[in-house]
A and B are shown apart, each in its own frame.
Chain A
């Protein structure tokens, strides 16, 4: 670092404040509800290389710190003062935009005729055209269904807006006035950024300003490396599964091999499943990308709360992301719901870090961010009124020394919930329960956070309930260090009545008046041997209702009757001989081991290697055919369970290996041609 540390600290606050003022300006005037309700927007200052050297601390999306503008900037040559680049293209922007409603603007800031940095901002627009209002559906398979594609181009030249572009743009969105409001807000934010940058340059000189960009990144890099050195050198392999890919019931597997050497980390995602025919693909461009490193950022920021927020934080990390996988798909794979997959990428990182050093990061959370949506039909006009009744998450996982958080999870986005009274004002429902789900937190010496219970009665005929993206219904949030997994998610009709039945993985349920639909989200994983949990804490959990008396006995060996501890019975249970838990233990629950009797790591890695050698269209067909052959009952998994799907593991495994061999021969034949 060349600048003196006082000046560096001052400049850090000034450039950060500049991006925060940009955010404030944007949030104050933007019109999309995503900005106001979900803070789904961002602002930053980027280096000449297109990386963010200044980023807001508490405004907007925290996770996009390591985005890269360089591909979008290189695509638009001859930038002049007053020019603004626009793009939303997941592929042509090099992964800057990760789904198309995210409109990105970049503006070069000049001093004495030379670019000194770039201002960047984005908002999640309410609509960008495509097959459905709001442009996002997991059912889409191609970008063309997801709306208007805007490769990087000039939105403004020398301060003059490109009217032709805007006319074209407006014609391709459902609510052009709202979108235009968002663009104006983004432009205003970029102007504020330019003003602040020129003030900083005037106060400190251009050389200092340019040097600060380098020094701040080096400073962050040095701090981040100190934290990463907590992880011992070595190679750590881990993989995790999403229940299904929406288009089929085949799980999506994220595979990670993490190599640590003196605080430097390499993430190799070789062996990860191919891209899917649904909107779950993450367009990373195959580079180090925020969606791949989010958990490492949380890890670093948790253990050094003063690390400056800039790309330097990630400079000790390298990646390998094979092309054609679900985390580096080929154009034009759909990407709208890429955040659902990102949660499982997070979990894969958690697993690898836990293998390196158990207890540092929390066990996985409930692993879902799902909007419960009600679509009502107006009886007279027939028009549909669609509204989100509640955004549901699971609880967070436990870590060494701390329980998970009940019913909250900021792992992907730190959203606030919707008050019951607000939902009931707008929708013909009566919310019967919105609370914590007892016994759902993974048992452990430190307990996983409980999931949520959200149930509502339908008060009007013709209503449909949607819960797309609900996860962890099959594969549980696992436990660590002797801790147990959290309970799986469920959706139940008329819970607690004789008519109770599981609705399985809900796409759309056409409800009758009087139906009560209840969502139960997964709890976080536990940490440490539950029988080692402090008895007083278990008694307290029972008193507060987070754990039932039955659960306390079964999971913790603590006997509580009518709120009173039975010490003798507890001692008897706890002193009985059992297996000793190790800090390096993982407990996935029964489903994953059953699945992996057939689909183990070696076979899946081989399969994916063969699949990736085929053309994209053939991959999907071959994969589907193979799973249908091996597991004919897989489509029913959400109602019949894992054991019924893997009913003859030996034979199924033979069919799988035979299928892979056939594929490999086909690949070899193609290669020979």
Chain B
């Protein structure tokens, strides 16, 4: 059979999510498989088999599998990675211990600092030293080298990361040492910092190398098992892995550079949001992903997620370009509590999956946000997650009643009012955090639509939109498997960086050498993308420069507009910088020369786009039930629908509830919901 289906997979802690798109008829298939923490590839195998069978297709119908996983991230957060040694230049043994020398909290002296990723006894100095100019002032003698090798052997490590000072400038000294070590230590993985990411700042670059080494064995064996299992199924389609930058990588690249995949889960969700919302021309989006422990937020402008090069992975800063996802507050499992002065608090502690909120009936006595949705009537205890789980309302009420008592409420509906109060507190906090986040970017939230996914996102979204004065909420068709959908919507993509030492605006020769370096990196990118598989159609290059006036302490990133990329010259580039500088700082020093510290190249290989299927027209929906919901300050009568009832063009008015297999959508009084041409539910304020 002609291959015609793409499968997206997102491996989470509790469930592994699957989405399959059949390009022949535009149909989408969804599946959730309980995760198998001991061998995540087992859940992938089972899920794919179930999914393909449900469509009645053979495995040969699958043309592409795109896969996201948090295995690497979890290993870093839980510190379960490989035993890694770090090799550094003389005097730099404490690079991991010192980090950037900041403490996690300025007020609280009991807050501990992070434990270094690599302890001091696994960091080894070798007499290899390069200056910032690239001049090599010290090479290890044969005896010094042998002593290093002996130390590494004695340390019995799985992997070695090498980071020599100033290797961002010229990687030869570091690469030479790494090559020797590979020969001397067969079977031990050796990673080089500048090979992975040649950017200035020794701690952050050492982390890139060390984190890559730390998760490498784990990811390697996972990928190997995955490949074997899928091959055994008879599935011959190529496997891609989603990346931090919202793109995807061929399996072989991902095996070499697992560090590029660790934050891919959240990134995929944002990619899906950008693509799914596009048909309505919603160029400006705030996305929220509300799960059990927290609510994550991201911003898309002009159909592209926003990127950052300053993020954190567990306790560590990451300098690689990633889709910018931040946290704004409580998740469904966030626990409510009351302090000694009788003030109600939400989170940050979470009930997790076990015992979970009180209503899960697993013995929890402290209520969580999900209990509040249940007690106020937004959730139906018998129809939660399409009826897959029955909630214990009495347990939730009992837990909330205790909270009500502590905050001084009286009367028989104390639990109910405590629940409504907690939702007000949580919503208000999310709204203020959203507002701050937009302020940080200099954006006006009123121009943005809110797209909600994750299990609780669509339940909370309208409350947040109302409080944060957003005008529109988008609930996609399958918010519970959204990251898996993002996987099959992603293009192949990789970022490159080179440090440069160019001052432009003085003479043409310097600009020529800069552009020569750009051409070299572009060539490297093109060679890479050409080898990433046959599915890739056209490709696109983007370039940017990190620039500053001489004497400034910080760089400003200047992206070259796509139309200018091949025609960029000194005059244009300097003008772009001055303009960007004026936009950020209100002035430009047009008489000054300009330094270029880094050049950046991004290559994107387009995977033939998926067409989202047009939503079917259906009969005007009739509520399947009505139920009372306590909305903030009083009771309202809400109509209840199922998502399946809502065809293209359907319109319903709040207060209303839409139940579906993976979430519950809560629509406030004063808002209306309509289904757009691709099936998104669009909530707006009633005229």
Contacts and interface: CB of A to CB of B under 8 A. Distances in A.
B585 A31 contact: yes
B440 interface: yes
A301 B107 contact: yes
Contacts of B554: 36
Interface string A287-320: 0000000000110011101100000000000000
Interface string A423-439: 01100001111111000
B503 interface: no
Interface in A85-103: none
B534 interface: no
B546 interface: no
B137 interface: yes
A362 interface: yes
B342 interface: yes
B108, B111, B119, most chain A CB atoms within 10 A: B108
B55 interface: no
B132 interface: yes
A10, A421, A425, most chain B CB atoms within 10 A: A421
Contacts of B553: 33, 36-37
Contacts of B100: 416-417
Contacts of A430: 129, 131, 137
Contact of B407 (A6, A20, A361): A6
A414 B168 CA distance: 28
A13 B94 contact: no
A10 B101 contact: no
B94 A407 contact: yes
A8 B343 contact: yes
Contacts of A361: 109
Contact of A421 (B105, B201, B436): B201
A405 B116 CA distance: 12
Contact of A414 (B103, B110, B137, B407): B103
A362 B103 CA distance: 15
Interface stretch (B85-93, B229-237, B456-464): B85-93
A414 B106 contact: yes
A431 B102 contact: no
B474 to A, nearest CB: 25
Interface string B385-397: 0000000000000
Interface in B114-145: 119-121, 129, 131-132, 137
A297 B105 CA distance: 13
Interface in B291-349: 339-345
Contacts of B428: 10, 13-14
Contacts of B433: 17
Contacts of B200: 419, 421-422, 425
B98 A5 contact: no
B108 A305 contact: yes
Contacts of A66: none
B107 A62 contact: yes
A409 B102 CA distance: 8
Given A36-B553, A414-B102, A420 B110 contact: no
Nearest to A449: B113
Query: Which bucket holds chain B's interface residue count?
Result: 35 or more
B56 interface: no
A173 B350 CA distance: 52
Interface stretch (A111-119, A218-226, A606-614): A218-226
A506 B215 CA distance: 46
Contact of B586 (A181, A222, A303, A422): A181
Contacts of A24: 436, 439-440
A433 B101 contact: no
B129 to A, nearest CB: 8
Interface in B54-99: 90-94, 97-98
B187 interface: no
B439 A408 contact: no
Given A9-B425, A419-B202, A435-B98, A17 B91 contact: no
A393 B98 CA distance: 12
A626 interface: no
Given A396-B109, A402-B110, A545-B120, A13 B102 contact: no
A422 B201 contact: yes
A6 B421 contact: yes
Contacts of A420: 92, 165, 202
A192 interface: yes
Nearest to A22: B439
B227 interface: no
Contact of B345 (A298, A306, A362, A546): A306
Given A298-B109, A434-B91, A28 B121 contact: no
A620 B98 CA distance: 42
A198 interface: no
B537 to A, nearest CB: 39
A435 B91 contact: yes
Contacts of B345: 9, 306
A425 B169 CA distance: 10
B113 A432 contact: no
Nearest to A33: B553
Given A419-B200, A421-B165, A430-B137, A17 B436 contact: yes
B121 A6 contact: no
Interface in B392-445: 407-408, 421, 424-425, 428-429, 432-433, 435-436, 439-440, 442
B370 interface: no
Interface in A1-42: 1, 5-6, 8-10, 13-14, 16-17, 20-21, 24-25, 28-29, 31, 33, 36-37
Interface string A383-425: 0000000000100100100100111111100111101111011
Contact of B93 (A405, A422, A435): A435
Nearest to A419: B201
A406 B131 CA distance: 28
A302 B108 contact: yes
B344 A17 contact: no
B41 interface: no
A184 B587 CA distance: 12
Nearest to A7: B424
A36 B103 CA distance: 17
Contacts of A6: 344, 407, 421, 424-425
A8 B421 CA distance: 11
A435 B342 CA distance: 47
Contacts of A546: 120
A409, A410, A433, A434, most chain B CB atoms within 10 A: A410
Nearest to A410: B103
Contact of B584 (A29, A226, A297, A414): A29
A410 B102 contact: yes
A21 B102 contact: no
A306 B102 CA distance: 22
A636 interface: no
A647 interface: no
Contacts of B341: 1, 5, 219, 222-223
B107 A298 contact: yes
Contact of A226 (B90, B340, B440, B586): B340
Given A219-B343, A414-B102, 17 more contacts: A6-B425, A9-B343, A20-B436, A28-B584, A192-B439, A298-B108, A301-B108, A302-B107, A302-B109, A302-B110, A303-B110, A399-B109, A402-B112, A421-B168, A424-B165, A433-B90, A436-B98
21 contacts: A6-B425, A9-B344, A9-B425, A13-B428, A13-B432, A28-B442, A29-B586, A58-B106, A223-B339, A302-B108, A302-B109, A405-B113, A407-B97, A407-B101, A410-B105, A414-B106, A416-B102, A421-B166, A424-B165, A433-B91, A435-B91
Q: Which 10 A-B pairs give the minimum distances between C-beta atoms? A: A17-B432, A433-B91, A435-B94, A301-B107, A410-B103, A417-B101, A424-B132, A62-B106, A544-B120, A416-B100
Interface of B: 90-94, 97-98, 100-103, 105-113, 119-121, 129, 131-132, 137, 165-166, 168, 200-203, 339-345, 407-408, 421, 424-425, 428-429, 432-433, 435-436, 439-440, 442, 553-554, 584-587
